[in-house]
Amino acid sequence: MTTALQVLRAPARGRDLDDFLAVYRNVSRGFYDGTLTDAALADWRQDQLTTVLHHVTERSPFYRCHLAGVDIDAVTPDDLSALPFTTKDDLRREMYDVLSGRVGEASIYYETNGTTGASTPCPRGPRDIATSNAAVEEAWRRLLRSHFGDRMPVVGLMGPSELYAFGDVFSAVTASLDACHVKIWPESPRVGFKKALRLIEELNVEVVVCAPALCLSLAKAALHYGYDLARSPVKLFLVLGEICTPQFAANVSTVWPQAVVRPALYGSQEALCIATGADDGRLHLSAPNYLTELIDPDTGAVLGDSGEGELVLTMLVDGIKPLIRYRTGDLVRLTPAPAGAPLPGPVVEVVGRVADRIAVGRARLHPGQLEAAVLDQVRGCLGYQVVIDHTSDGDDEITVRMDLLPGVADPDATADAVAERLRALTGARARVVIETELDPVTHTGSFVSWKAARVLDLRSTPDSAAVTAQRVAHRYAITT
């Protein structure tokens, strides 16, 4: 890595795109093949942190004011405390003033879906696209090789909307890997589940990229239209966009007997590809692209860079919208990569949104805990909804509505086990009701939030996310 180290120590500011990408490719290649030393990675991160801080204070009206008075050159990756947080409210209030340049300087424009607030602009420039996609491409190359060897499968993309980066990112990555992809968006009125299932069969689609909830919606639709799930060509679901617990993934494999579930990536419109998935089911941080901190979500106190807390990101690429100490609103666990891991970089375990924490009985649960309790060792679950209400004496009561695949699960035994786990976890009364049709809101998943799709809390008036999910639920009907 001598050449890379020499280039790394060259001044970062003023590098044109070709020079930047040449350096970045050296860093990325060394990171993934294990030849990049800790010292070289530290040099890159310090160099890029300083570069990005100068970039945003010179080009972003928001950050010019937000970071006024900060000695930028004194800030190090190990101590970002001199920098204020950037919040989602900042992005909604400042809109285009957060950008480090004009929209016209970007390569493509995206924006957030705006389900819980104003849609915010998320354009991406050449540096953003190249550096974010590089992590996805490397992860997919390894993951697909482990399942399909030297041949490339047909990949079905099932994205959320045309203003999301989903379609472009995975189209570019599959093209780089010489894999055929087909955009099958079953929730689009021009496609629908019936056509999506036909295309999966006719094109022998072996990999489906989608939100976790769509794995179950697709199965429900397949049964409705007479498909045999055991004979489906789908062998691999790559999921993203909402939490996917190991219990959820294991359940999907009992619904789709030929398929396994793996995380595709963890990211967002605002922050791009934060972590990529490996074949062991773990997500690994794209370390050349980010500095991470964990904070107490209630107090903002910094907890360090390992353990559990709300994830705070500082982006290290001087693109069109780098964010500084950005509070993601996501609860995560960060741990070192274990020896022999399929990918380098710290392991990122997403346990749910801060706003999705639920107080019930004697417990305050994050989404991952609740889903794990519902789905642990469950087989053949096509969907579930957790309903929380008060009993006549004011105690909390949990009712889980579950749709189970006929012939796979023992309904009575499943119901008893789920209810017992929830009672033990929360101290609240719990029961399970087996139903064949659930509220369509359970299919909305990543479009709004996991909580809005999975939890109906009757103890209070619905929040804005729950109202939005109910309003759009009809779009996710699986039999139309």
Residue-range domain boundaries for the chain:
2-79, 126-353, 357-476
Burial (Cβ within 10 Å: 0-12, 13-18, ≥19) of residue 460: exposed
Confidence of residue 4 (pLDDT cuts 50, 70, 90): very low
Q: Which CATH superfamily is domain 357-476 in?
A: ANL, C-terminal domain (3.30.300.30)
Provide the pLDDT confidence category of residue 254 given band limits of 50, 70 and 90. Answer: very high
* Listed residue (332, 400, 399) closest to 366, CA to CA: 332
The CB-side HSE value for 32 (13 A sphere, CA atoms) comes to 18
- What three-state secondary structure class fits 273? strand
Mean pLDDT of 318-331: 97
Burial of 339 (0-12, 13-18, 19+ CB in 10 A): exposed
Beta carbons within 10 angstroms of residue 301's beta carbon: 10
CA gap 265, 139 in Å, rounded: 9
For 4-125, strand residue ranges (E) read none
pLDDT exceeds cutoff 90 at 394: no
CATH number at 126-353: 3.40.50.12780
The residue-averaged pLDDT of 184-198 equals: 88
Higher pLDDT, 440 or 23: 23
What proportion of the chain, given as a percentage, has pLDDT over 90?
A: 77
Q: How confident is the model at residue 441 (pLDDT cuts 50, 70, 90)?
A: confident
In the three-class reduction of DSSP (H, G, I as helix; E, B as strand; rest coil), residue 246 is classed as: helix
* pLDDT number for residue 227: 96
Q: Provide the CB-side half-sphere exposure for 50 (13 A, CA).
A: 16
Quick check: 171 pLDDT over 70? yes
Amino acid 165: pLDDT:
87
CA distance 216 to 201: 17
Burial of 381 by CB count in 10 Å (0-12 exposed, 13-18 middle, 19+ buried)?
buried
Q: Give the pLDDT score at 410.
A: 87
pTM over 0.75: yes
For range 431-446, the mean pLDDT:
82
Residue 191 pLDDT > 90, yes or no?
A: no
Q: What is the mean pLDDT of residues 50-72?
A: 97
Distance (Å) of CA 232 to CA 84, 150, 163 = 51, 22, 30
**Mean pLDDT across 235-254:** 94
- Token duo for residue 346: 């710290």
Question: So what's the pLDDT on residue 10?
Answer: 46
Ranges 185-194, 197-206, 430-439, 444-453: which has the least confidence? 444-453
Residues 141-157 have a mean pLDDT of 96
Mean pLDDT of 241-248: 91
Give residue 472's pLDDT.
65
Per-chain mean pLDDT for the chain: 91
| Residue/partner pairs of 354-359 with CB below 8 Å, 24 or more apart | 354/297, 354/310, 354/329, 354/330, 355/329, 355/449, 355/451, 355/465, 356/449, 356/450, 356/451, 356/455, 357/331, 358/388, 358/451, 358/455, 358/457
* Predicted local confidence at residue 105, as pLDDT: 94
